[in-house]
Chain A
Amino acid sequence: MILSSLVFVPLLGMIIVMCLPKDKFNAIRWTSLLVSLIPMFASFWLTWDYFFNYSGSAAFAYVVGPYNWIPSLNIQYYMGVDGISIPMLFLTGLLSTLSLLASFGINNRVKEYFAFFLLLEAGMMGVFVALDFFLFYVFWEVMLVPMYFLIGVWGGPRKEYAAIKFFLYTLFGSIFMLVAILIMYFTSEPHSLNMVTLLDHGPMMSHTLQMVCFIFFFIAFAIKVPVWPFHTWLPDAHVEAPTAVSVILAGVLLKMGTYAMLRINWPMFPQALRELSFWIAVLGVIAIIYGALVSMAQKDLKKLVAYSSVSHMGYCMMALAAVSSVSAIAGCMFQMVSHGLITGALFVLVGVLYDRAHTREIAAFGGLGAKVPVYTGIMVLFSMAALGLPGMSGFVSEFMIFVGAFGALNKVLVGISVLGVVLGATYMLRMVQNVFLGEFNMARWGGLTDINLREIISVAPLAVLTVVIGVYPKPLTQLMTATLEHLVSLMAR
């Protein structure tokens, strides 16, 4: 029940917002914020309750259904959560609300913006709770449309290009997923779209078809992650999207790819996975190094953060390739959460700067540390978190990933990937140095104001969580240990 509400409350909110008069900006803003508080607190409560009551077993909790939705196609309305979806729900709930808060500066076509945003939230929530393939696919696609409009209407100068690119890319991927889903459906006996039974049974198809399905699913999810070389939509979309949308893109949408791999791709095709895991790891390592190197060459602040996402999600891919290691997979989950928090916050902060300075060119700044000390402090904090400083969540995840991957994968490969740590430090510090340190251009930036309270509120929870997870990650591991063990055992079939 509560899972359905996660999806339908934002939908309802969207309808309410659409009914509000167009020019009542504040009413629209506050309504949507209040609406989004409901799924947020629901997801918090879920996390809390799951932690204490369900985290001991790998079974799905709070199961809704399965109700027959379209019985003639065996499509069910079936939802449930386990240890890997709970953290994602938490992240989605939190980031949605915070991004809505960060969107209060939108003054252009406010009503549409917030309506689309709530629709987006519904889709995201749905992806993480759906246990039926069809339902999953529906939510997966439903997000695309609001995202297309959010980038296309409220985006930057090249918004139209970025929006259509995002849409085409992801649709391209998901259409592969559709084919794979259909193949799975018709090869299973009895025909089923129920993820749980399909998981339990394992693939019931020939080896070739398994490989085909695996690759199709992989392409679909890899585009979302994005795995090199499918990543080129990401910088465009991130850079052109309005701040809050970039936050959602980085914080939640990218996670869907890895989440779906962990939920569908990996445990359902263990054999194909084992045959391909080396190449997946190679892709991951390429993404790590490549993303970091490309970040280093960026002149645009937001692009730098965008490419750093490529690099960070590369860690996730490498971890996912280390299928036999619980710690690597757990590290991947950690990385998903921490990347969501950190990069989300970085995008908010870049947006804060952009709102004031109307440029994001790194070279245009310098020495801002003296002028806007609070902003600088927060930004440096998150930069440090992004480069994997201990005491922050990023470090824990990277460490777990490396240790796990080092044991499970080719050691040279992992050794190369460790270079990403230094490169990560390099581009982050270069950014910090060029923007905040050095000489201050009084004539140009003399009028810059420091971060305001609303903006602080919208990043403060992220900062707190980043540090809390970095200092005391145990609850998060406990939350998902049982599920991960179960998943690893499925992958070992």
Chain B
Amino acid sequence: MDFTLPQYDPFRMLPEIFMLLWALWVFTYDLITKRQKEAAVGYMALIGPAVPLLFIVFYLTGLLPESWRYGGSGFGAMFFNDTTAMFFKIVFLGAAIMAIGSSFGITKQKIVNHRGEFYGLLLFSTLGMMFLASSNELLTLYIGLELTTIPLFVLAAFFKDDKLSVEAGVKYFVIGAFSSALLLYGMSFLYGLSGTTGLVQMKMNMAVVFLSYRDIGVILLGGIVLLVAGVGFKLALPPFHQWAPDVYEGSPTPIAAFLSVGSKAAGLVAFGKIFVNGLMAFFGPEQAPNDWGMLVGLLAILAMVIGNVVAIRQTNIKRMLAYSSIAQAGYIMIGMVVLNEHGMASVAYYIFAYMFANMGAFAAVAIFEDQTGSCQIEDYKGLAKTSPVFAVSLSLFLLSLVGIPPLAGFLAKYKVFAAAISMATVDPSASWLYWLVGVGVLTAVFSLFYYANVMRLMFFSNEEPRHKITYSVPALCVLLLGLAGIVVFGIYAEPILKLVRTIPADFGLYIP
């Protein structure tokens, strides 16, 4: 048996390598400064995602010399830097930056002794996501996924003496490990059927195998269902969503934010890679029972309905945002089941816009929690009077989540629905997508109800509010970053849209 070392392309992995080293450096920095530096660790940690982010942005804008050969495949095609990878890395790194920025409050007050670990684990988790984004086959994908999740288990339970936090950690851990077991079991079926873990290869093999041996369908079916469950956990897609509200509520707010954006984006990448890429052949009603499209569509409907409906009755803003993020996952999945030149592009733009809005909203929640210790929606009453900037920016984030133009959230929803309709108008067999769109638009209206509730409390009350918000610099920066994101990319979205336009091609959905 030949055993040759695959090609070794360190350039492809430069940002990841930097992240790894920097994460370790953050650990050590905290140690060597004897855990005395309050904010310095945080600023230090910010460099971790910021440098790779700039690197990738420079590469994409052509500012990086061609000789750096960042894009393309490496490590025996196991590691692949295409637009998808780079775009999602931007999302992950952006989410990490915003999460770190909004963590300054809790690192100052609550986790006095473990700042380095906190930031380091966050960076490790981001690193996992970056690997995930670049992975081109199941093994890397799995490793990336685990590298993402395991630090998050720890982070969720980071308030060691806070029962809620520990409970969140336990729940997240058990359900996470459980779902990754399901995922693995499903993957083993895929491997068994196709004999490969390479996703592109699998796409071809599967079709061939399936044509010759129809009776393997049961295994395939089991594999698909298990994989949907495994990745659905990451996405908090109903019915695999129940951990999300509990975990969001219990864990530190920046971590909840990071979970809701980073982890979700990671799940999206994984989902896209496994299904859109690897299992593309099994899509569409005529592929039943192995069709994953309708199944995911059904889950999307469930997500939109359950998320938006249950959110209405929440009294804790973090739980509310958790349900809202469940619903948002539903909207994203609409784009996921559109296998044409619009589908994955809309998913990518959606998660990008969602990152700013949701991270911003959580950042606002974190600011509020740092100052008052409360996450109850009731306590936001009358805030517009004392803290107009806070109230306006939180409102804008929420409005972006509803999808009110000209904020980025609107364009995101627009793109998702547009994708579904573009397919439905062309392909008669895809007319079920109209139903997805129908449920989507209707639940979007429902969603206004609970988002507006927060605005109502902040603005409409004429009572004197109990709290007044003061901002730390990093937290304010995160707020402004989020605001800038939803406003700028709502109005001037062209560069991002241009970028995401090539993403469907990465999944082999069309040839540019």
Return the chain A residue nearest B493 by Cβ: A70
Return the chain A residue nearest B441 by Cβ: A175
Contact assessment for A179 and B441 in the assembled complex, using a CB-CB cutoff below 8 Å: yes
Contact assessment for B421 and A182 in the assembled complex, using a CB-CB cutoff below 8 Å: yes
The answer to whether the Cβ of B444 comes within 8 Å of any Cβ in the partner chain is yes
Contact assessment for A138 and B405 in the assembled complex, using a CB-CB cutoff below 8 Å: yes
Contact assessment for A164 and B449 in the assembled complex, using a CB-CB cutoff below 8 Å: yes
Q: Which of A72, A168, A172, A185 contacts B501 (CB 8 A)?
A: A72
The answer to whether the Cβ of B426 comes within 8 Å of any Cβ in the partner chain is yes
- Taking the nearest CB of chain A, how far is it from the CB of B376, in angstroms? 19
Given the known interface contacts A71-B494, A72-B497, the answer about A175 and B456 at a Cβ–Cβ threshold of 8 Å is no
Contact assessment for A138 and B441 in the assembled complex, using a CB-CB cutoff below 8 Å: no
CA distance A209 to B434 in the complex (A): 12
User: Quick one: which of B41-65 are within 8 Å of A by CB?
Assistant: none
Contact assessment for A164 and B494 in the assembled complex, using a CB-CB cutoff below 8 Å: no
The answer to whether the Cβ of B227 comes within 8 Å of any Cβ in the partner chain is no
Contact assessment for B425 and A186 in the assembled complex, using a CB-CB cutoff below 8 Å: yes
Contact assessment for B456 and A187 in the assembled complex, using a CB-CB cutoff below 8 Å: no
Contact assessment for B425 and A175 in the assembled complex, using a CB-CB cutoff below 8 Å: no
CA distance A72 to B497 in the complex (A): 7
CB-CB < 8 A to B404: which residues of A? Answer: 141-142, 144-145
CB-CB < 8 A to A69: which residues of B? Answer: 494
The answer to whether the Cβ of B498 comes within 8 Å of any Cβ in the partner chain is yes
Contact assessment for A175 and B444 in the assembled complex, using a CB-CB cutoff below 8 Å: yes
Contact assessment for B445 and A175 in the assembled complex, using a CB-CB cutoff below 8 Å: yes
* SS class, residues of chain B in contact with chain A: helix
Contact assessment for A186 and B494 in the assembled complex, using a CB-CB cutoff below 8 Å: no
- Taking the nearest CB of chain B, how far is it from the CB of A346, in angstroms? 27
The answer to whether the Cβ of A178 comes within 8 Å of any Cβ in the partner chain is yes
The answer to whether the Cβ of A278 comes within 8 Å of any Cβ in the partner chain is no
Contact assessment for A138 and B406 in the assembled complex, using a CB-CB cutoff below 8 Å: yes
Contact assessment for B456 and A164 in the assembled complex, using a CB-CB cutoff below 8 Å: yes
User: Quick one: which of B372-423 are within 8 Å of A by CB?
Assistant: 384-385, 388, 399, 402, 404-406, 410-411, 414-415, 417-418, 421-422
- Taking the nearest CB of chain B, how far is it from the CB of A136, in angstroms? 10
CB-CB < 8 A to A209: which residues of B? Answer: 425
Contact assessment for A70 and B417 in the assembled complex, using a CB-CB cutoff below 8 Å: no
CA distance A175 to B440 in the complex (A): 10
- Taking the nearest CB of chain B, how far is it from the CB of A210, in angstroms? 13
CA distance A71 to B494 in the complex (A): 7
CB-CB < 8 A to A179: which residues of B? Answer: 417, 421, 437-438, 441
The answer to whether the Cβ of B174 comes within 8 Å of any Cβ in the partner chain is no
Contact assessment for B418 and A185 in the assembled complex, using a CB-CB cutoff below 8 Å: yes
CA distance A148 to B417 in the complex (A): 25
CB-CB < 8 A to A137: which residues of B? Answer: 405
Given the known interface contacts A176-B441, A178-B417, the answer about A70 and B406 at a Cβ–Cβ threshold of 8 Å is no
CA distance A321 to B415 in the complex (A): 34
Contact assessment for B441 and A72 in the assembled complex, using a CB-CB cutoff below 8 Å: no
The answer to whether the Cβ of A78 comes within 8 Å of any Cβ in the partner chain is no
The answer to whether the Cβ of A437 comes within 8 Å of any Cβ in the partner chain is no
CB-CB < 8 A to A176: which residues of B? Answer: 441
CB-CB < 8 A to A168: which residues of B? Answer: 445, 448-449
- Taking the nearest CB of chain A, how far is it from the CB of B478, in angstroms? 21
CB-CB < 8 A to A171: which residues of B? Answer: 402, 444-445, 448
User: Quick one: which of B111-165 are within 8 Å of A by CB?
Assistant: none
CB-CB < 8 A to A178: which residues of B? Answer: 414, 417, 441
Contact assessment for B456 and A152 in the assembled complex, using a CB-CB cutoff below 8 Å: yes
Contact assessment for B449 and A186 in the assembled complex, using a CB-CB cutoff below 8 Å: no
Given the known interface contacts A164-B449, A164-B456, the answer about A186 and B422 at a Cβ–Cβ threshold of 8 Å is yes
Contact assessment for A182 and B418 in the assembled complex, using a CB-CB cutoff below 8 Å: yes
The answer to whether the Cβ of B442 comes within 8 Å of any Cβ in the partner chain is yes
The answer to whether the Cβ of A29 comes within 8 Å of any Cβ in the partner chain is no
The answer to whether the Cβ of B68 comes within 8 Å of any Cβ in the partner chain is no
CB-CB < 8 A to B11: which residues of A? Answer: none
CA distance A368 to B414 in the complex (A): 54
The answer to whether the Cβ of B452 comes within 8 Å of any Cβ in the partner chain is yes
CA distance A176 to B434 in the complex (A): 12
The answer to whether the Cβ of B460 comes within 8 Å of any Cβ in the partner chain is yes
Q: Which of A72, A159, A175, A182 contacts B460 (CB 8 A)?
A: A159
Return the chain A residue nearest B404 by Cβ: A141
Contact assessment for B421 and A72 in the assembled complex, using a CB-CB cutoff below 8 Å: no
CA distance A183 to B449 in the complex (A): 27
User: Quick one: which of B281-302 are within 8 Å of A by CB?
Assistant: none
Given the known interface contacts A145-B404, A183-B421, the answer about A163 and B456 at a Cβ–Cβ threshold of 8 Å is yes
Return the chain B residue nearest A164 by Cβ: B452
CB-CB < 8 A to A159: which residues of B? Answer: 460
The answer to whether the Cβ of A167 comes within 8 Å of any Cβ in the partner chain is yes
Contact assessment for B452 and A73 in the assembled complex, using a CB-CB cutoff below 8 Å: no
CB-CB < 8 A to A182: which residues of B? Answer: 414, 417-418, 421-422, 437
CB-CB < 8 A to A112: which residues of B? Answer: 384, 388
- Taking the nearest CB of chain A, how far is it from the CB of B411, in angstroms? 8
The answer to whether the Cβ of A153 comes within 8 Å of any Cβ in the partner chain is yes
- Taking the nearest CB of chain A, how far is it from the CB of B144, in angstroms? 30
Contact assessment for A163 and B445 in the assembled complex, using a CB-CB cutoff below 8 Å: no
CB-CB < 8 A to B414: which residues of A? Answer: 73, 134, 178, 182
Q: Which of A73, A144, A148, A164 contacts B415 (CB 8 A)?
A: A73
Q: Most chain-B Cβ atoms within 10 A of its Cβ — which of A71, A144, A159, A167?
A: A167
Given the known interface contacts A152-B459, A183-B425, the answer about A172 and B493 at a Cβ–Cβ threshold of 8 Å is no
The answer to whether the Cβ of B470 comes within 8 Å of any Cβ in the partner chain is no
The answer to whether the Cβ of B36 comes within 8 Å of any Cβ in the partner chain is no
The answer to whether the Cβ of A149 comes within 8 Å of any Cβ in the partner chain is yes
The answer to whether the Cβ of A160 comes within 8 Å of any Cβ in the partner chain is yes
Contact assessment for B452 and A148 in the assembled complex, using a CB-CB cutoff below 8 Å: yes
CA distance A129 to B460 in the complex (A): 32
CA distance A186 to B425 in the complex (A): 7
The answer to whether the Cβ of B462 comes within 8 Å of any Cβ in the partner chain is yes
- Taking the nearest CB of chain B, how far is it from the CB of A208, in angstroms? 11
CB-CB < 8 A to A53: which residues of B? Answer: none
The answer to whether the Cβ of A452 comes within 8 Å of any Cβ in the partner chain is no
- Taking the nearest CB of chain B, how far is it from the CB of A112, in angstroms? 8
CA distance A164 to B450 in the complex (A): 10
- Taking the nearest CB of chain A, how far is it from the CB of B488, in angstroms? 13
Contact assessment for B494 and A72 in the assembled complex, using a CB-CB cutoff below 8 Å: yes
CB-CB < 8 A to A107: which residues of B? Answer: none
CA distance A109 to B385 in the complex (A): 8
CA distance A168 to B414 in the complex (A): 18
Return the chain A residue nearest B413 by Cβ: A178
CA distance A149 to B437 in the complex (A): 29
Contact assessment for A163 and B493 in the assembled complex, using a CB-CB cutoff below 8 Å: no
CB-CB < 8 A to B417: which residues of A? Answer: 178-179, 182
- Taking the nearest CB of chain A, how far is it from the CB of B399, in angstroms? 6
CA distance A175 to B415 in the complex (A): 14
Return the chain A residue nearest B445 by Cβ: A172
CA distance A183 to B433 in the complex (A): 12
CB-CB < 8 A to B498: which residues of A? Answer: 72
Return the chain B residue nearest A216 by Cβ: B441
CB-CB < 8 A to B402: which residues of A? Answer: 171
Q: Which of A73, A163, A187 contacts B418 (CB 8 A)?
A: A73
Contact assessment for A163 and B460 in the assembled complex, using a CB-CB cutoff below 8 Å: yes
Contact assessment for B449 and A141 in the assembled complex, using a CB-CB cutoff below 8 Å: no
Contact assessment for A167 and B501 in the assembled complex, using a CB-CB cutoff below 8 Å: no
Q: Which of A109, A145, A205 contacts B399 (CB 8 A)?
A: A145
User: Quick one: which of B457-499 are within 8 Å of A by CB?
Assistant: 459-460, 462, 493-494, 497-498
CB-CB < 8 A to B444: which residues of A? Answer: 171, 175
CA distance A466 to B501 in the complex (A): 54
CA distance A51 to B387 in the complex (A): 49
CA distance A183 to B422 in the complex (A): 8
CB-CB < 8 A to B388: which residues of A? Answer: 112
CA distance A182 to B426 in the complex (A): 13
Q: Which of A72, A108, A109, A141 contacts B405 (CB 8 A)?
A: A141
The 6 closest A-B pairs by CB, nearest first: A138-B405, A175-B441, A72-B497, A182-B421, A186-B425, A152-B460
Apart from A164-B452, A179-B417, 4 more pairs, CB < 8 Å: A70-B493, A109-B385, A171-B444, A182-B418
> Can you give 11 A-B contacts (C-beta < 8 A)?
A73-B414, A73-B418, A73-B497, A109-B385, A153-B460, A160-B460, A167-B452, A168-B445, A171-B444, A175-B441, A178-B441
